[in-house]
A and B are shown apart, each in its own frame.
Chain A
């Protein structure tokens, strides 16, 4: 029997469509792998084995009846920040222990199920999604499969670990400053933060309303395109949901790379970076050039102010939104998240508005750069996954707080809301994964996925599996 956990989502979908396997066999294989490895991966909060087997049988029945959805029988995991019917939404925090199970799915989860996907369980995260390391002392830190002493990245830590450890073909995450792309990067898989408003946030616990995005984590750009196709589109239940037509993302993958203009904001993206990461990035640029892309440098001066702007917006919106929502339960929030929420009290309206105005400046400068280039390209992070417990890190010649270092290149694209894709681009001398970030114009997810797919056709980093 084939090991169905070894196939990518796209390959599994093809095998299922050709009836080379069944949804039941695929889901059973993933559940068995979860059982065998959970003690050393720690990705899942709750595994829904019985429900998943029922859903798999239903997917097989749908296929036999000729009405299978595009993801019929594909096992997926869901960050425990989404409402999942029958599960307590824990949000990575002891504050929600004892809550009633969710009566309905979040919109993105419902769309995945409508496409035939099988939810195998919910995954751990940085508490309240309020952090980029993925370290969660209270409820559990998923283990980075490339280095157990390294952070998995967050906040969607369990979702990235589940995909990297071959426990699910894809997973849902959220991204407020880093939280899809950084765990994907640190765990050696691919992750997409779509444009703000592209995927409904209905049924997801908010962290910061104007920065929160929902998106997929999977092994490849091709896999991400298939998941995005299922979850994208307007939803009146999300006030920020955009009424912008959804294109055919799989068809977009076939766009040629030849002549595509890639802009590198080198003045910021490589000004502070580990030498090993910078070298891997330059090699990735060479691969992209060899495949036909035209690479030029671009200037986006407002990037220099992105970190404090991101901090001000997250702290202000989280403190204003989450603290009242938590009410008396705030006493059960862990010390790190609680300290962040309390720190938000020290900010004034002038900080928040200055940050929101800086976002306009940053967006306009980035759009100007994207008039000269078709996409931006840069390292996904300036460092490889840091050791668990590190509060400060040395990046090149600079000493930075660990969160600031991790989010340095991801945060700007939460501020602008532009689509951003992380794809693996090699390994450091220590054997830790590095990643490339591709950023596109508003709602141009097809463009970033196409370049990511072309890069992955020319390289094999996304096929590497941890031992």
Chain B
């Protein structure tokens, strides 16, 4: 299945409101990016927890 087809199925399943005329453009523009986001979910990030900038950056100030 192509990146575009995978995204199209997800958009339909999520009930996204995208006119037919715009769908091919959305798939072309976002298909590879969403595929790269899928890759992110398969990365081994070890012990990394979700980033919290409002806490982490002040902790590291100075």
* Chain A residues packing against B (C-beta within 8 Å): 195-197, 210, 239-240, 242-244, 305, 307-309, 311-312, 335, 339, 342-343, 345-347, 350-351, 353-361, 363-364, 367, 391, 401, 404, 415-418, 441-443
Contacts and interface: CB of A to CB of B under 8 A. Distances in A.
Interface in B4-21: 7, 10-11, 14-18
Contacts of A346: 7, 10-11, 14, 16, 34
Main secondary structure of the interface of B (DSSP, over half): helix
Interface in B35-62: 36-41, 43, 45-46, 48-54, 56-58, 60-62
A244 B7 contact: no
Given A312-B37, A345-B11, A240 B54 contact: yes
B34 to A, nearest CB: 6
Given A242-B58, A343-B26, A347-B37, A358 B45 contact: yes
Given A355-B40, A358-B40, A345 B50 contact: no
B61 A357 contact: no
Nearest to A358: B40
A308 B16 contact: no
A308 B49 contact: no
A443 B62 contact: yes
A309 to B, nearest CB: 6
Given A305-B40, A342-B16, A358-B45, A363 B56 contact: yes
A339 B18 contact: yes
Contacts of B15: 345
A335 B19 CA distance: 10
B55 to A, nearest CB: 10
A359 B56 CA distance: 11
Interface of B: 7, 10-11, 14-18, 22, 25-26, 29-30, 32-34, 36-41, 43, 45-46, 48-54, 56-58, 60-62
11 contacts: A210-B53, A242-B54, A342-B18, A343-B11, A343-B16, A345-B11, A346-B10, A359-B50, A360-B56, A417-B57, A443-B62
Nearest to B23: A339
Contacts of A360: 45, 48-51, 56
Main secondary structure of the interface of A (DSSP, over half): helix
Contacts of A210: 51-54
A391 B29 contact: yes
B54 A311 contact: no
Contacts of A401: 29, 32-33
B41 A351 contact: yes
Among B7, B17, B38, B53, residue most surrounded by chain A Cβ atoms (within 10 Å)? B53
Nearest to B14: A345
B53 A417 contact: yes
A346 B25 CA distance: 16
B58 A354 contact: no
A346 B47 CA distance: 27
Contacts of A197: 53-54, 57-58
B49 A443 contact: no
Contacts of A339: 18, 22, 25-26
A281 B34 CA distance: 31
Contacts of B43: 305, 354, 358
A345 B12 CA distance: 10
A442 B36 contact: no
Contacts of A195: 57
Contacts of B16: 342-343, 345-346
Nearest to A414: B53
A211 to B, nearest CB: 8
Query: Considering the complex of A and B, which 7 residue pairs feature the smallest CB-CB distances, nearest first?
Result: A359-B51, A356-B50, A308-B36, A345-B14, A346-B10, A417-B53, A342-B16
Contact of B61 (A244, A305, A355, A391): A244
A418 B56 CA distance: 11
